[in-house]
Structure 1
Amino acid sequence: MNPRFRTVPRLGQTRRVADLLERWRAAARGAGATGPAGLTDAGEELIHRWREPHRHYHTVDHLRAVLDVVDRHAELAGRPDLVRLAAWCHDAVYDPRAGGDANEQASAELAVRLLTGLGLPADAVTEVRRLVLLTAGHQVDAGDADGALLCDADLAVLAAPPAAYERYAAAVRREYAHVPEPDFRIGRARVLSALLGLPALFRSPPLARRWERPARANLRRELAALATPGPAPA
C-alpha cells in the first residue's frame, strides 16, 4: 500500500473502520470489480481522504450516513452498488477553498482512477462518475432512480431534527473558518437559497414524503438566522 495513505494504528485494526472497509469491498465486488488485491488499498485511500483534519462535516460520519440511507432504501435504485460506490467517492476530494464544482470534478476523476484500477466494467465506471457529478447541484432528471437516491442520501441531513441540523450548520462553518463572517453569510445564504429554489429537495417519493417539509423548515430557519446581525448560528 502507498505509505501516504497508511495511518497509525493501521485503519483495518479498528472495528468501525473494518466494517466500513467491508462495505466498500462488498459494493466494489457487487459492481464487478475483478482486481481484489487492490480493494483494501483503494478503500483505505478513500477513508484516509474522508478523515483529513480540515473536515468537520464532510467526514467518515457523513460517508457512513449516506451509505446507511442507500442501504436502507436500496430497492429504490436500479444499480445500488454503483450508488454505494458513488457515495464513497462523492466528497473524497474536499477542499473548502476550491471554487465551483472543482471538488466534485476531482472526486469524479478519482473515482474513475480507483474503479478502473479495480477492473470495473467501463460502463459502471462511467455511471459512478456521472453520479458523483450530480452531487454538485443535486439536480436530477425524472426517471433517474440511482441519481435520486444518491442525492437524497447526500441531502438527508437537511431534514434532521433542529438540534442536529444546527450541529451540521456549525460544522460547515468550521470548514470555512478561513472565510470572514460577512462573506460566509452571503455565500451560505446563496447556497441555501439555491436549495430552496429546487422544485424538490428529495426525488425518491418515500423519502420526499418524510423529509421535504422538515428540510425546508430547517433551511428557512438558517437563512433567517444568517440575515440577522450577530454571531453565526452555532
Structure 2
Amino acid sequence: MPPPAGPSWPLDDGLAVRDELLAAYADPERGYHDTTHLTEVLARVDELAAAGVPFEHLPVRLAAWFHDAVYDGERDAEERSAAWAEHALPGLVDDAVVVEVVRLVRLTESHRPEEGDANGCVLSDADLGILAAPAERYAAYVSDVRAEYAHLDDETFAAGRRVVLTDLVGKPRLFHTSYALERWEDAARANVAAELG
C-alpha cells in the first residue's frame, strides 16, 4: 500500500512549526530521512493505532514529526531534534505532552524502549518498520541512506553501516508491540541478514 500523499499534522494550530519541520525534511541534502520517511513513519503509527495497539496518540505523532527534524549525520542529531521540540511546542500543547515528546525523540537514538513504555514501543516500531519493507523498497532505503553519507568512501560507510545493523539485530527483538513483532520481525531480520551478507 503506498503511503499517503503527505504527512498529517496532529494539531489544529502550530502551522508555522509544521512548515518549518516540512522544510527541514525536504532539505535536498537528505537521502532517506526525508518527507517520505516522515510520511511512512506516521502511516505506521496509524497502522498500529488501527490494529488496536494502545498508546497516547498526540505525543507519539508529534514525536514522529520531530524525531528526525535535525538530520545531518552527526551523533547528536536526536538531541538537537529533541531540543527543537522542547523549544517549539510550549504554548501549543500542555507541558506534560512537551516532556513526553522530547523523551520519545531522544529514545529514537537507541530504539530500546522499556517493556512497559507503550508510547516508546510504538514510535520505535514505526521508525524501524522500514526494515520489514518489500525487497524493492528496502533496496531504495539502503540506497537513500548511502546517499546521506556520500561524503564517506565505500569502505568507511560499509563498516559504519555494519555496526548499526549488527547492533540492531543483536537486540532480542527488533519490534516491541505484539502487532509489529508478529508481522514485521521475520521480514526485517531477513532483509538485514541479506544486506549484511
Residue of structure 2 equivalent to 1:56: 31
Aligned pair count reads: 192
Residue of structure 2 equivalent to 1:194: 167
Q: What secondary structure, in the 3-state scheme, does the structure 1 residue paired with 2:89 have? A: helix
Q: What secondary structure, in the 3-state scheme, does the structure 2 residue paired with 1:116 have? A: coil
Residue of structure 2 equivalent to 1:91: 68
The CA distance in 1 between the partners of 2:11 and 2:62, in whole Å, is 7
Instruction: Please list every run of 5 or more consecutive structure 1 residues that lacks an aligned counterpart in the other structure.
Output: 1-15, 30-35, 225-234
Q: Offset at 1:166?
A: 1.1
Residue of structure 2 equivalent to 1:207: 180
Q: Offset at 1:54?
A: 0.7
The CA distance in 1 between the partners of 2:88 and 2:128, in whole Å, is 25
Deviations 1:162-186 (A, max 9, x none): 2211111011001100011111111
Residue of structure 1 equivalent to 2:19: 44
The CA distance in 2 between the partners of 1:189 and 1:89, in whole Å, is 26
Deviations 1:29-88 (A, max 9, x none): 5xxxxxx3xx11110000000000111111111100011111122232331111000000
Report the residue type matching 2:188 in the other structure: A
- Map residues 86-125 of structure 1 onto 2, 5 A cutoff: 86-96=63-73, 98-99=74-75, 102-118=76-92, 120-125=93-98
The CA distance in 2 between the partners of 1:188 and 1:57, in whole Å, is 14
Instruction: Please list every run of 5 or more consecutive structure 2 residues that lacks an aligned counterpart in the other structure.
Output: none
- The one of the two structures with greater contact order (alpha-carbon pairs below 8 A, sep at least 6) is 2
Q: Contact conserved, 2:86 with 2:99, CA < 8 A, in 1? A: yes
Report the residue type matching 1:51 in the other structure: A
Q: What secondary structure, in the 3-state scheme, does the structure 2 residue paired with 1:201 have? A: coil
The CA distance in 2 between the partners of 1:63 and 1:57, in whole Å, is 10
Report the residue type matching 1:115 in the other structure: L
Report the residue type matching 1:127 in the other structure: E
Q: TM-score, normalised by structure 2?
A: 0.93
Residue of structure 2 equivalent to 1:8: none
Runs of 4+ in 1 over 6 A off after TM superposition: none
Q: Contact conserved, 2:48 with 2:179, CA < 8 A, in 1? A: no
